[in-house]
Amino acid sequence: GGTGGASISYNPYYVSPGGAGGDATATANSAALAGGTAMATANAFGGAGGASVFGGDGAQGAANATSSARTQKGGMAVAQSNAAGSSGQTLSTAQTGFAFVKVGANAQVGYAGSTIAITQGGGSGEAFVNPGQSAYAFTVSLPDKGYAASLIGGAGNVASALLGPRDVVFGASILGTNGGGQTSATFDFNYHGDLLLGLIDDQPSVSGEFTIVANGVTFLDQTFTDPSIADSFFQDHVIDLGSFSGPAVDLTIGYNGGFGAFDFAVGGAVPEASTWAMMLLGFMGLGFAGWRRAHAGARSIA
C-alpha cells in the first residue's frame, strides 16, 4: 500500500495528522496435479502513515494475505501468507490426496499476521516444533510407519491403539497458534470400523477451543483455559470416535484461539487378508445362492 500523505502545517494551533497509508491485498494460488510440489506465498504490506509536524503520523494501511496450494498423489502443498498492517486478516490453506485418503490443512488469523499450511502424503511429515507463525497447520495422509512411530514417540496409550500390526494410521497432524488463530485438519477417506483419535503431546500453555466434527456432526467442542487441564487432555490420550459403516468418513479436527500446539494421529484396525478373503467368498456364496433360488423359481413358473 502506498504511503499516506504528509502534513506540512507548522501551525501548532492547527492539528493536522498525516494521511493514512494505503491498504494492501495479496492472493497466491498454486496447483500441482501430477504429483509434484505446489508452493504459494502471499505477502501484503499496508502502506506507512504520512508524517506530520504537530498532528502525529497517519495510521498504517490494512493488509490482507491469502494463499492456497493443492496437489494430488501425495505431493507436498505449501501455502504461506504474511501480512503487516493496522488491521486485516491472513489465511493459508493446503490440500492433497494420496491413495484413498484426502487431507487438508487450514490456518488463519483475523488480523495482519503470518500463517502457514502444509499437506503431504505417503511418507514423513513435519516435526512437532513451533515454526513461529501466528497460526500453523501441518497434515500428512497415510504416513509411513517410521514417521508415525517417531511422531507418537513415548505416548504409550496412542502407540498401543494405533501402531499394532493390523492398525493403519490414516493421517496425522500438528495444529498450533501463537495468539487468536484458527486452525484445522481435515481427513476424507473410506473406512468401515472403529475409528480412533490419538492425542500425542502438547506444547506448553495450550488454551482455546478444541473441536471434533465427524460427517457433519459435532462429536466434541471443549474450551480450555487452564493449561494443567489441557496438559492432561492432550498428552497420550486416545478418543474412540465410534464405529463407521461407511462408505465415507469426513473428519475435521479444529483448534481455535489461545496459545499452544498439539499433534495427533487418526487410525483404526483393518481385517487380516484371510478375513477379507473369507468375507469375499461369503458374499459370493450368498450371491450364488440367491441366483439359484431365483433360477429355480423361474423354472417352476415355466
Return d(Cα 34, Cα 71) in angstroms, integer. Answer: 8
- pLDDT in the model for residue 259: 87
CB contact set of 190 (below 8 Å; sequence gap of 6+): 100, 246, 247, 248, 249
**Which residue in this structure is represented by grid cell 501455502?**
79
pLDDT tens digits, residue range 127-140? 999 999 999 999 99
Tell me what pLDDT residue 300 has: 46
Rounded Cα distance, 41 and 162, in Å? 35
Q: Mean per-residue pLDDT for 58-80? A: 96
H/E element, 284: helix 273-301
**What pLDDT sits at residue 18?**
86
pLDDT for 198-224, tens place per residue? 999 998 777 889 999 999 999 999 999
User: What's the rounded mean pLDDT across residues 168-186?
Assistant: 95
pLDDT score at 103: 98
Q: Are the beta carbons of 75 and 31 closer than 8 angstroms? A: no
